[in-house]
Structure 1
Amino acid sequence: MKVEIIVAVIAATASLAAVVGTYIGSRQSSDNARAIAVLQIDNQKLQDASQREKEMSKLREPLARAAFDLQSRIYNILKQDLIRRLSRPWR
């Protein structure tokens, strides 16, 4: 074989290897970009959930206290039969 043909075959092989390497690298880069985007979305969802939990924790105790107070008042009204007593005319 002539030297020119050997050099051309080596150059073509190197070019083909470079194209395959570039394709694989760009494919991995694209996959990485998608994975990063998914992670960012998941991170934002977690931050939003954390913020909602913080806001709910501020309301949880006062709401529970108010519910207990309401339940206690209703129980006392029913136990002491206050509705019947208050609906009667004063004597």
Structure 2
Amino acid sequence: MDPQLLAGIYSSTAIVVGIVLAAAAFGSALGWALICSKFLEGITRQPEMRAQLTGQMLFTGGLMEAFPMIVLGISMWFIFANPFASAFQAAIGG
């Protein structure tokens, strides 16, 4: 078993997980920006709909916030139960 190759698998996985988490955070921030801008646009068009638009904004934002949490869970699985390292160890018989 080559420890350098195993370390390379772990380090590559950590780098990719970091990139994926950064993309999820950027997507979440962009989503919140779009939701809030459309919310303010809707209020300026119809101020009497503010209560309904607030509920819709918070509901949609809550659904949108679930995405980074799912990505975080999958990322933690890749970090702590690395399937690539397990496959490598099984392939070499270790």
TM-score tier after normalising by the smaller chain length: 0.3 to 0.5
Task: Name the TM-score, length of structure 1 as normaliser.
Answer: 0.47
Larger radius of gyration: 1
Structure number with the bigger relative contact order (C-alpha 8 A, sep ≥ 6) is 2
